[in-house]
Amino acid sequence: MSSIDSKVEKGYFGEFGGSFVPDELKVILDNIGKQFEKYKDDPEFIEEFRYYLKEYVGRENPLTFAKNLTQKIGGAKIYLKREDLNHTGAHKINNALGQILLAKRMGAKRIIAETGAGQHGVATATASAMIGLPCTIYMGKLDTERQALNVFRMQLLGAEVVAVDKGRGRLKEAVDEAFEDLVKNHEDTFYLIGSAVGPYPYPEMVKHFQSIISLESKQQILEKEGKLPTAIVACTGGGSNAIGSFANYIEDEGVRLIGVEPLEAPTISEGVPAVFHGYISLTLFDENGDPKPTNSIAAGLDYQGVGPEHSYLHSIGRGEYVTASGQEALEALQELSKVEGIIPALESSHAVAHSMKLAKELNKDDIIIVNISGRGDKDVNQVYDMLTK
């Protein structure tokens, strides 16, 4: 197991990953990869990233002992990694910031991104405003209508939101449009991808910037408990908060890495390997071979694909991937809110739901770290509707 990293070829995680895009685009993406490799270990770049993580995002965030929840369940100790306390209320800003700083080093004059639910669009618009670069966010037309408030947030932050009125007006069409823009304008434009998905180099790059989560949590748990946790639990949509939470424990064989998918979008549990959005990973298809529509209550997890490294960790048995239903997540959201005074995002609530089950099965000297990927403020209207209608 200790040779996991050396087995990972550039852009590939076992049989997963790679870059399946037109040649013209591949050249552009490979160059982003080269620049990323160049700057990621550059002391000045690291210092700048750390500066903004501290002064702008508010890191490090706490690893909170969930004393009441632990007592109530009566099994393993539960700790919460508090990404919900970041500026903008979730983990996405870590990655947006890292890529913006890379874009600046590469001399980009303009940022583009695509977003489905709007959360990545908001993180990108935020980081762009902070660094002073204009930004264009592509969004399926149907999604702009469903997520009108997030569109307005992006506009407040100075972004231009382009409603893509093609195909079904969803994320896929927005991704296509963003790649087209990049091919046309790559001389001065940087494409900022929001999860550990997409062709090389994005899965590596997003993991790198999100691995700050486990860099902190490892140090924090060693300080508090003097030992490593039994398990890390994180929700898995595209997989960025999960891979960031796992990253610094992958080599620690004794630490279980558990990704929690929504029962309504069980990509790893039920998907098959395929090229989707430019890379090979497990993907959900319907009986006609079309990407299968998913139906999670958590917009950030409602996706047929997943980052390639998760498919790989699953294939070699290093990662465990389980599901939690929307109903279980809704109950976990209410439980954590009542017992600890912390309202988790609906996405994170899937991880909380599984952690509560797992804690019961484990002993008092076991430790679970659950990643609270975001705060639930964005979800209270939806939760209100679900509980009252």
Ligand X SMILES: *Cc1c(COP(=O)(O)O)cnc(C)c1O
Q: Which of 19, 77, 81, 92 is catalytic?
A: 92
Q: Residue 140: beta bridge partners?
A: 164
- Helix (H) / strand (E) element for 313: namely helix 308-315
Distance CA 154, CA 158 (A): 7
Exactly one of 342, 345, 353, 383 binds ligand X (CB under 6 A); which one?
345
Q: Report if residue 240 touches ligand X, rule: CB under 6 A.
A: yes
Exactly one of 88, 94, 119, 230 binds ligand X (CB under 6 A); which one?
119
Specify whether 373 is catalytic. Answer: yes
Place of tokens 């908001």: 122
Interface with ligand X (CB under 6 A), residue total 19
Output Rg (C-alpha) for the chain, integer angstroms: 20
Q: Which of 77, 83, 114, 173 is catalytic?
A: 114
Collapse the DSSP code of 106 into the 3-class scheme (helix H, G, I; strand E, B; otherwise coil) and give the result: coil
- Helix (H) / strand (E) element for 267: namely helix 267-270
Q: Are 237 and 195 in contact (CB under 8 A)?
A: yes
Which range in 34-42, 61-69, 129-137, 239-247 contacts ligand X by CB under 6 A? 239-247
Distance CA 298, CA 61 (A): 23
Pick out residues in 244-273 that bind ligand X (CB under 6 A). none
Distance CA 306, CA 333 (A): 24
Distance CA 239, CA 296 (A): 15
Specify whether 240 is catalytic. Answer: no
CB of 340 to ligand X, least distance (A): 17
Q: Which is nearer to ligand X, 140 or 374 (CB)?
A: 374
Specify whether 54 is catalytic. Answer: no
Which range in 38-46, 143-151, 165-173, 234-242 contacts ligand X by CB under 6 A? 234-242
Which residue type sits at 384? Y
Q: Which is nearer to ligand X, 66 or 242 (CB)?
A: 242
Distances (CA, A) of 254 to 257, 369, 387: 9, 14, 40
Q: Report if residue 235 touches ligand X, rule: CB under 6 A.
A: yes
Q: Report if residue 238 touches ligand X, rule: CB under 6 A.
A: yes
Cα 175-178-184 angle, rounded to 5 deg: 145
Distance CA 246, CA 373 (A): 13
Q: Are 250 and 1 in contact (CB under 8 A)?
A: no
Exactly one of 126, 211, 241, 311 binds ligand X (CB under 6 A); which one?
241
Per-residue contact flags (x/-) with ligand X for residues 185 to 224, judged by CB under 6 A: ----------x-----------------------------
Which range in 38-46, 129-137, 286-294, 344-352 contacts ligand X by CB under 6 A? 344-352
Nearby residues of 283 by Cβ (< 8 Å), 6 or more positions away: 267, 271, 272, 273, 274, 276, 291, 304, 305, 306
CB of 235 to ligand X, least distance (A): 5
CB of 51 to ligand X, least distance (A): 24
Which range in 30-38, 264-272, 312-320, 343-351 contacts ligand X by CB under 6 A? 343-351
Exactly one of 92, 153, 277, 314 binds ligand X (CB under 6 A); which one?
92
Distance CA 211, CA 209 (A): 6
Q: Report if residue 171 touches ligand X, rule: CB under 6 A.
A: no
Which residue type sits at 255? V
Exactly one of 116, 283, 374, 383 binds ligand X (CB under 6 A); which one?
374
Active-site annotation, residues: 92, 114, 373
Binding site for ligand X (CB under 6 A): 90, 92, 119, 195, 235-242, 300-301, 345, 347-348, 373-374
